[in-house]
Amino acid sequence: MKIGIDKLGFYAPHLYVDMNDLAKERGIDPGKFTIGLGQDEMAVPPVTQDPVSLAANAADQILDEEDKEKIDLVIFGTESGVDHSKSAAVYIHQLLGLNPRARSVELKQACYGATAGIQMAKGHIALHPDKKVLVLASDIARYGLNTPGESTQGAGAVAILVSASPRLLELESESTYYTEDIMDFWRPVYSTTAYVDGKYSNEQYIAFFQKVWKDYQEQTGRNLEDFAAIAFHLPYTKMGWKALRTVIEDASEEVQERLKNNYQISTKYNRNVGNIYTGSLYLSLISLLENQDELKEGDTIGLYSYGSGAVGEFFSGKLQPGYKKHLQTAEHQAMFANRECISVAAYEKVFEESLPTDGSEKQLNIDEDPAKICLAGVKDHIRSYAAK
């Protein structure tokens, strides 16, 4: 039985800041952001979007009534969840009108959470082939104004429908993973922004890639030539290339060219959104599938997932016949086209806006947010959402 990704949806907030403007305002050469990091634009979430509403907007695009009936497991991967106790998956369940006869949970391991969710979803579908699993990857990446991590912020969500007989990507059973307790990036429960040892995190991302890639080669006998493309977790778009270039010389010139070219295409959307933590790898996959017309049925795509702290995994999937017809290319391109570029001063203002944490009530103005599903406010410590 084939099990894999049947549908992929993506949502980013409607506001963004141009990285050239941010660089100028911070007194930095813009080339550092656009070339050194490979980021052109950074999504800015208004206070009316949180990880729950972002994910609901991503999932709303792809689910039909049959999906809603058949989903009996909702897995929400996030590291910016809105409650220490209640899972974001339960909020989503209600917002999307899913069948109540379902399990709903939140998973956390930095940017790796959604990959763990996808692997669990595969096991669930193997036991219940007539069901579907909704995996959500949604985050707001915050390091703080004027910090070294500021240029690698972002916000957005990917919704992934996992099922038998998938129409996009069959997930193969070969997969290699590695865990080691390190402090490269973390966010203590009292902090709204992440702590990071930037250089060390880069080194560990690469070291974990090399470990799982070597294990994968040994386990499967595959090499780089077996892949049409490899998509990476992208905290910024140069990061995956820094890992890939450490192994790419093992391949022929032709294979190197192909992987390099497809790597560039897989970074297109991420360049304009920034880091979305759990969803970054899957945004890169969407970017590849929607923007590369030369991929074909049966092509193998490699995927490298990394979540600080840290867990890394290398796995793979096979493109399915007619997959192009089942992508949301036009919707995603329209979403990008309709975003609004804001000044650095406006971004800083939006960044500082937050819900009260002292129990007081706040109603938000959702008229300025074009998203279908918005965070509408908080009252008695309870968040309320509105679907327009």
Return the number of the residue (152 or 320) whose C-beta is nearest ligand HMG. 152
152, 163, 320, 328: which one binds ligand HMG (CB under 6 A): 152
Stretch that binds ligand HMG, among 39-47, 87-95, 198-206, 245-253 (CB under 6 A): 198-206
Q: Which of 170, 233, 332, 374 is catalytic?
A: 233
Write each residue from 330 to 369 as x if it is in contact with ligand HMG (CB under 6 A), else as -, in one continuous string.
Answer: ----------------------------------------
Return the number of the residue (74 or 206) whose C-beta is nearest ligand HMG. 206
Q: Is the Cα dihedral 234, 237, 239, 245 positive or negative?
A: positive
Task: Work out whether 239 is an interface residue with ligand HMG (CB under 6 A).
Answer: yes
- 79 as an active site residue: the answer is yes
- Nearest Cα neighbor of 69 from 94, 105, 101, 41 is 101
Nearest residue (beta carbon) to ligand HMG: 36
Give, as ranges, the residues between 244 and 303 that touch ligand HMG (CB under 6 A). 275, 277
CA–CA distance, 366 with 386 (Å, rounded to integer): 8
Closest CB 84 distance from ligand HMG, rounded Å? 18
Stretch that binds ligand HMG, among 29-37, 246-254, 294-302, 328-336 (CB under 6 A): 29-37
Contact 282/51 with Cβ under 8 angstroms?
no
Q: Is the Cα dihedral 64, 67, 73, 75 positive or negative?
A: negative
Tokens of 86: 């209640």
Residues making up the chain, counted from first to last: 388
- 233 as an active site residue: the answer is yes
Closest CB 241 distance from ligand HMG, rounded Å? 9
CA–CA distance, 273 with 283 (Å, rounded to integer): 9
Grouping H, G, I as helix, E, B as strand and the rest as coil, residue 216 is: helix
Tokens of 215: 């294990």
2, 20, 25, 32: which one binds ligand HMG (CB under 6 A): 32
- 73, 100, 283, 351 from 300: Cα distances, Å: 27, 36, 18, 40
Tokens of 73: 């497991």
11, 209, 227, 306: which one binds ligand HMG (CB under 6 A): 306
Q: How far apart are the first and last CA of the chain?
A: 39
9, 13, 302, 307: which one binds ligand HMG (CB under 6 A): 307
Closest CB 362 distance from ligand HMG, rounded Å? 28
Return the number of the residue (48 or 80) whose C-beta is nearest ligand HMG. 80
Tokens 């997932």 sit on residue: 305
Return the number of the residue (29 or 69) whose C-beta is nearest ligand HMG. 29
- Nearest Cα neighbor of 286 from 66, 1, 5, 18 is 5
CA–CA distance, 326 with 368 (Å, rounded to integer): 31
Grouping H, G, I as helix, E, B as strand and the rest as coil, residue 219 is: helix
Q: Which of 41, 93, 106, 111 is catalytic?
A: 111
Cis? peptide before 12, omega within 30° of 0: no
Binding site for ligand HMG (CB under 6 A): 29, 31-32, 35-37, 79, 110-111, 148-149, 151-152, 184-185, 196, 198-199, 201-202, 205, 233, 235-236, 239, 275, 277, 306-308
Question: Which residues are catalytically annotated?
Answer: 79, 111, 233
